[in-house]
Amino acid sequence: MPSLFTSISSITAAIANEKIAQINASTDVEKAGIQAKIDQLQSQRDVLISDSKNSKIDLWIRAGFALPPMLYFGKIFAYDKVWASWGEFSTPAISSNDLYVVMAVLGFYFLYSTAKLFR
């Protein structure tokens, strides 16, 4: 379970610390033990990198967080704003709070998509 919360950057920092310790080691036995730790950390880093490229867990988590607001605002826009006002032939204005939430959702979506381009 702790490996789920280990980030690639923390493993990379640990590798750098171990390499410094290897340089400062005085005996060959210490250097060999530290090299074994470095190899293990590099393997763990490689597994996390490979998993991040192939895993769909991020997609499912984002979809899970997006579903409740999507349903809520879908109901507000489709029913409250359009269907309920159909007889009046007018659409009520979107409140500023609703607009802020829509802008935040769209902003995070496009921010994620833009960041994904630069990976």
- pLDDT tens across 74-114, in order? 887 788 777 777 777 776 777 888 888 878 877 877 787 77
**Final residue in a domain of this structure, among 36, 54, 72:** 54
Helix (H, G, I), strand (E, B) or coil at 91: coil
Do both 73 and 49 map to the same domain? no
Do both 37 and 68 map to the same domain? no
Do both 107 and 80 map to the same domain? yes
Do both 50 and 63 map to the same domain? no
Total tally of structural domains belonging to the chain: 2
| 30 vs 92, more confident | 30
Question: Average of pLDDT values for 52-71?
Answer: 78
Q: Which domain holds residue 85?
A: 57-117
- CA dihedral angle for residue 18, residue 24, residue 25, residue 27, rounded to 10 degrees: 150
Do both 110 and 64 map to the same domain? yes
Output the pTM of the full model. Answer: 0.45
- pLDDT tier, 6 (very low <50, low <70, confident <90, very high otherwise): low
Do both 7 and 22 map to the same domain? yes
Do both 79 and 109 map to the same domain? yes
